Amino acid sequence: MRSRRSISDIVAVVLLIVIAIAAAVIIYMWLSGLIGSVHTSTSATQVKLEITGASVAPSPPGSSTYTVQVTVYNPPDSPSTYITLGELEFTNGTMLCSTPLSTTTTTTITPGGSVPLSFSCAGSATAPAGTPVEVVLVTSQGVQVSYTTSIS
C-alpha cells in the first residue's frame, strides 16, 4: 500500500511543478508583450488616416506620367501628420511610380480634418484607361494607407 501512495505523491508534485512553470511562462509572455508595446512609438500606432477618394489620370494622355489627386481624412482620435511619399501601384503590388513629397509641398493633416492632395509621378510603363491601380500614401510616422481606383 505504501508504494502506491508514494507514486501518487510524486505525480502530484510533478503536476504542481508543471502548472507553476506554465503559469510563469504565460505571465512572462503577457508582461513582455505589454512592455514591448510601451517601448514602441505611440504616434505611429495611433495614426489612422483614411483615403476617402482618389483619381489617377495620365498627363498628358497616353504618357507614363500620372497625376494623382487624393482626399485624405484624419479621424479626430488620430494625431496630426503629413504625407511624405506617394506611390502608384498595380493591384498585384507591382510599383508603377513613386514620388517623395517634401514637407513644404504637403499640408499637415490635423485631427478631424480632410485635405486634398495632388502629386505627379513618372512611371516606366503606360497603363490603359480602366486599369485598376492602388494609390499608396506614407505618413511622416511611416504608416501606409492605400486606396484602389482605376486610371481614367
Q: 33-87, pLDDT tens digit by residue?
A: 765 555 555 455 577 889 999 999 888 888 888 899 999 998 888 888 888 888 8
Domain-by-domain residue ranges, the chain?
2-39, 43-150
Burial of 137 (0-12, 13-18, 19+ CB in 10 A): buried
Q: Helix or strand or coil: residue 104? A: coil
Q: 80-109, pLDDT tens digit by residue?
A: 888 888 888 888 888 888 888 875 556 788
CATH top class, domain 43-150? mainly beta
